[in-house]
Amino acid sequence: MGLSNLAGKRILLIIGGGIAAYKSLDLIRQYQKAGAAIVPVLTRAGAEFVTPLSVSALAGSAVHTDLFDLTAEAEMGHIQLSRSADIVVVAPATADLIGKMASGLANDLATTLLMATDKRVLIAPAMNVRMWDHPSTKRNIATLDADGIAMVGPNSGEMACGEFGPGRMAEPSEIVTATATILKEGPLQGRHIIVTSGPTHEPIDPVRYIANRSSGAQGTALARALSALGADVTFVTGPARVPPPQGVRIVQVETANEMLSAVQTALPASAAVFAAAVADWRLAESREQKIKKKPDGTLPVLQFAENPDILATVAQMTQGRPDLVVGFAAETENVTAHATAKRARKGCDWIVANDVSPETGIMGGPDNTVTLITEQGTEAWPNMSKTDVARQLAARIAEALA
């Protein structure tokens, strides 16, 4: 997406301690190139990796480091700092800083600013892979997510310590893009939209599951397109092959029941778009131990149960129903007829139908050919990339909600 909406914006940049702090210098340059003004805050640990002089020289403004600056505090400086910015960005966000944020601690300038601000906060985590995978970090990230804190990264790669895995701070360009996404304006500004995506995995036993070939590409593209139009997007995704979009609220699930619960938790919303390829069935009872082959060759008997119908559940709500409910119909024959019947049966407003027969290459591929089915009739769209399908559908959603 473009970065023009960063022009004239004031960004409070908190630089935590860690080897990734050196990237903050390039981050300042990229923000300034986009027209943003930077107000830097350097933690005591951050100053071990980059100097206040280098940060100040690049930012073109004084570096704030001390909560107990008497001149500033006489004018309630930390409150002014926290609220005069358009957004607060923490890069790198170390395990220590994340832990303090999740616990509500305010024992230095950075954490006090984060507690006092009334603006959106974006963090770019950076830490060792073991620290990132630690249960306490996962709990802290979940807490911040529930508090509405946005996150970009971390990426996977080689660490300064020599280990490999998730924990590398997102690249400065990714952080700038995520910032622009949060500060964007558009026809869907102020609208909350739920998007489901990817397959669901229904466990058979601890090592096997029922799934489908959905990559999650169409749902991801749609969430990105809606976000680019200004929507506040909650992205509920199963175990997709494509990475989730930046700048949206991500809720990761495995099963259909988990997806339904996540959608219900995310409500209310102006619109809900159900692009996920939810498994129709699950095992009535998944096995606690791996199913073994029997010596006599007897095959195991698996008893199936129907999964919840997430689309119908939301579309038929009597209270709190989104203004627009959009379903997807992945068919292999009689596409338009089956999808039209599905729209009536489920009670949704629109159905986006496509032919996912193996020969089309649509499921898991880069392109899509869809038919939009509404109360007014059917509208066949030409073959195009999933990104273009998403943009066109997002524009239609914006028109419908206007």
Helices (H), ranges, 271-334 = 310-315
Helices (H), ranges, 128-171 = 129-133, 135-146
Q: Which of 123, 110, 238 is nearest to 182 (CA)?
A: 123
Q: Which of 401, 217, 381 is nearest to 326 (CA)?
A: 401
Torsions phi, psi for 34 (to 5 deg): -80, 0
Angle at 164 between CA 163 and CA 166, to 5 degrees: 120
Catalytic residues: 161
CA distance 234 to 236: 6
In the beta sheet, which residues pair with residue 15? Answer: 42
23 is in an annotated binding site: no
User: How many angstroms separate the Cα of 221 from the Cα of each of 97, 148, 241?
Assistant: 32, 22, 13
DSSP assignment, residue 239? S
Q: What is the pLDDT of residue 147?
A: 76
Exposed/middle/buried for 28, CB within 10 Å: 0-12, 13-18, 19+? buried
346 is in an annotated binding site: yes
CB 363 within 8 A of CB 343: no
Q: Which of 313, 365, 343 is nearest to 194 (CA)?
A: 313
Q: What is the pLDDT of residue 264?
A: 97
Which of left, alpha, beta for 35 (phi over 0: left; psi -120 to 50: alpha)? left
Helix (H) or strand (E) holding 79: helix 77-84
308 is in an annotated binding site: yes
309 is in an annotated binding site: yes
3-state SS string over 329-345?
EEECCCHHHHHHHHHHH
138 is in an annotated binding site: no
Q: What is the pLDDT of residue 197?
A: 96
Instruction: At 130, list the tokens.
Output: 């073991």
DSSP assignment, residue 199? B
Q: Which of 335, 276, 336, 356 is nearest to 309 (CA)?
A: 276
Q: What is the pLDDT of residue 272?
A: 98
CA distance 392 to 83: 37
- Name all domains of the chain by residue range, CATH numbers in brackets: 4-182 (3.40.50.1950), 192-401 (3.40.50.10300)
283 is in an annotated binding site: no
pTM beyond cutoff 0.75: no
* Tens-binned pLDDT, residue by residue, of the chain (402 aa): 456 678 889 999 999 998 899 999 999 999 999 899 999 999 999 999 999 999 999 998 888 887 665 455 554 466 777 778 889 999 999 999 999 999 999 888 899 899 888 788 999 999 988 899 999 999 999 888 877 788 898 988 776 666 777 888 999 999 998 888 788 767 998 899 999 999 999 999 999 999 988 889 899 999 988 987 888 899 999 999 888 876 688 999 999 999 999 999 999 999 999 999 999 999 988 888 898 988 888 888 899 999 999 999 999 999 999 999 999 988 878 889 999 999 999 999 999 998 877 677 666 677 888 999 999 999 999 988 888 899 999 999 999 998
CB 137 within 8 A of CB 105: no
Q: Residue 135: is the preceding peptide bond cis (ω within 30°)?
A: no
Q: Which of 235, 234, 251 is nearest to 142 (CA)?
A: 251
CA distance 116 to 280: 47
**Amino acid of residue 193:** I
DSSP assignment, residue 127? -
Q: Are strands 281-283 and 304-306 parallel, antiparallel or unpaired?
A: antiparallel
